[in-house]
Amino acid sequence: MKNSALMNKAADNIRILAASMVEKAKSGHPGGAMGGADFINVLYSEFLVYDPKNPKWEGRDRFFLDPGHMSPMLYAQLALTGKFTLDELKQFRQWGSTTPGHPEVSVEKGIENTSGPLGQGHTFAVGAAIAAKFLKTKFGEQMGQTIYTYVSDGGIEEEISQGAGRLAGHLGLDNLIMFYDSNDIQLSTETCAVTSEDTAAKYKSWGWEVMEINGNDLGQIRKALKKAQTVQGKPTLIIGKTVMGKGALAPDGSSFENKCATHGAPLGESGASFEKSIKNLGGNPEEPFAIFPEVAELYAKRAEELEKIVAKRHAAKLEWAVRNPEAAAKMEKWFSGAAPEIDWTKIEQESGQATRAASATVLGYLAQHVENMIVASADLSNSDKTDGFLKKTKAMTKDDFGGAFLQAGVSELTMACVCIGMGLHGGVIPACGTFFVFSDYMKPAIRMAALMEVPVKFIWTHDAFRVGEDGPTHEPVEQEAQIRLMEKLKNHNGNNSMLVLRPADSNECTVAYQLAMENTRTPTGFIFSRQNIKDLPGSSYQQALQVSKGAYVVSCDENPDVVLLASGSEVSTLVDGAELLRKDGIKVRIVSVPSEGLFRNQSVEYQASVLPVGVKRFGLTAGLPVNLQGLVGENGSIWGLESFGFSAPYKVLDEKLGFTGENVYKQVKAIL
């Protein structure tokens, strides 16, 4: 057991570094970081098992930070382990630094997740714990790691904590340990101004093991973590009462702890004295960016301990690999993140079906041929047709994680974040399904998946007003425009932040899945129809391979008078309209555009070959006209939907709203 005085000094060292980073940047959140230093110091110096020389070791414990504003605490802690230099800490929140205002995922630097929007970080941890449980059924104790996560008052208040807590408790995730930094202080108020709930009782009701401790007491933290590691059949919540701005002093030398002011402002701007606070913590305010020699020695000894612990784990893994060469090869391949090898030509689609049904066909095939794929649904599997996957596997349960289907319940945001957490853990390919209109619930998670470049597959069905009788609450109109923005937004590697695919028939659906499974760099969104769709002219897997270019010519008359373009079910409506136009001697080109983002990545020459300059264009979209504005241009015409939908059978809505071949004919004749 490590010396208490030394451990407390190490925690103070974290406090000093955290406060100094914020002070130098003149921006940030020092108070929470100062309060949480004791817990993170104990965790990293005594409990967290990782390989300093191989940060991507599959069997490592993982730490997920939820309150990203407490990044100074994490950066300071990681500086003690050698992951960050003091110079990097000095560049906190500056252009091009490795220490941005909120942590951004970098496993090499010891950061498992990007965090900032409160509530998502600890939900990622739930997903990682589920992935670890699933993989343990394949690889045994090679996946015996513990998932630790750290949440704040704000993360507990965010609604997503309801879904994360319910799901983790229901599944009995005993490989999950969560520390709740309960300091009773928020940015603008004390927590008592906004909540009076019994958090411990709430988590107990969900089936969690709950402990309440002094979160700044070394002995109590250590005891709680030791006990948490022995808990079986349930996740553990450690509620630690901590002191906001622990160690902070006012200019007159009095305590400046437990103040809202230090939550979101440098000590010197909050009313505290930076110099006196640093001195109080044992540091030198003239040179605050320093690691005490004895603290450096403490962490050097921990590195030696880890070297021995990890050496034993690696030796055990080697022995296991010799006994189980196939499983070892499988684990290596799965964690490489490489796309699975799939013979897509073996998938046989029925003609004239809804693309949600075509999706079910593909998912059924993937369930049998991609062992590490996990699919989730928000209580809609028999309607979003993810049950195509479920029928070939089984649902995960508390006592059996051998199945590859997660029944997430009615919790779209939670489900999305859980799937992101699976992807962050690695070794699995996560996908999740719900109705497209409910992508609204998922937007914060979709954005984080895009920012972190996690290749989750989002399966959205019931793509338009053709949901019909359910009415405007369930009929997506503006959703496609919102999701398509992610195709236009670039990630920090300069690539489209998301791949969005709206296939026009069953064969396009197969190829859409092929592109998604081969896309290991960004999330993918599928937009599928509820209603049946006629196959495109000449439909085949080979023809549909052109989906990889984002847009392609489905059929074309020589020297066309007009280009008709759409995505999804509207393409077949264009085909109906083209028949009428051709009877009038009008020459037509029909273009399917499942992904404008992919299309814009093609050469200028290819784009011009699909959409020739100087030829009139007409676009049809069941969403906002802006969906096709960039492709149709100012000289063309778009028929779209500019209001909420209505409750009626979808064929009636097609007629009433003008989504018919006859109206295509009428509109095109008008522009010609």
What does the alpha-carbon distance between residue 503 and residue 526 come to, in Å, rounded to a whole number? Answer: 8
Write down the residue that tokens 């301990």 correspond to. 305
> Which whole-number Å values give the CA distances from 471 to 424, 500, 581, 648, in the listed order?
37, 25, 32, 7
Alpha carbon 21 to chain centroid distance? Answer: 28
Write down the residue that tokens 């079906």 correspond to. 353
Give 397's strand partners: 400
Residue 412 among the catalytic residues = yes
Write down the residue that tokens 């940060």 correspond to. 55
What does the alpha-carbon distance between residue 297 and residue 519 come to, in Å, rounded to a whole number? Answer: 44
Joined tokens for residue 58: 């599959």
Secondary structure of 31-55 as H, E, C letters? HHHHHHHHHHHHHHHHHCCCCCCCC
What does the alpha-carbon distance between residue 67 and residue 120 come to, in Å, rounded to a whole number? Answer: 9
Q: Which of 104, 158, 275, 412 is catalytic?
A: 412
The answer to whether 181 and 240 have CB atoms below 8 angstroms apart is yes
500: enclosing H helix or E strand: strand 499-501
638: enclosing H helix or E strand: strand 637-639
655, 355, 318: which is closest to 528 by C-alpha? Answer: 355
Residue 650 amino acid letter: Y
> Which whole-number Å values give the CA distances from 562 to 196, 565, 582, 588, 669, in the listed order?
64, 10, 11, 5, 10
The answer to whether 291 and 86 have CB atoms below 8 angstroms apart is yes
What single string gives the DSSP state of each residue in 559-600? S-SEEEEE-TTHHHHHHHHHHHHHHTT--EEEEE-S-HHHHH
Q: Which residues contact 63 (CB under 8 A, 6 or more apart)?
A: 43, 48, 112, 148, 149, 150
Q: Which segments of 231-331 are extended strands (E)?
A: 236-241
Sheet holding 62-65, edge to edge: 62-65, 147-152, 176-182, 236-241, 209-214
By annotation, the residues acting in catalysis are 412
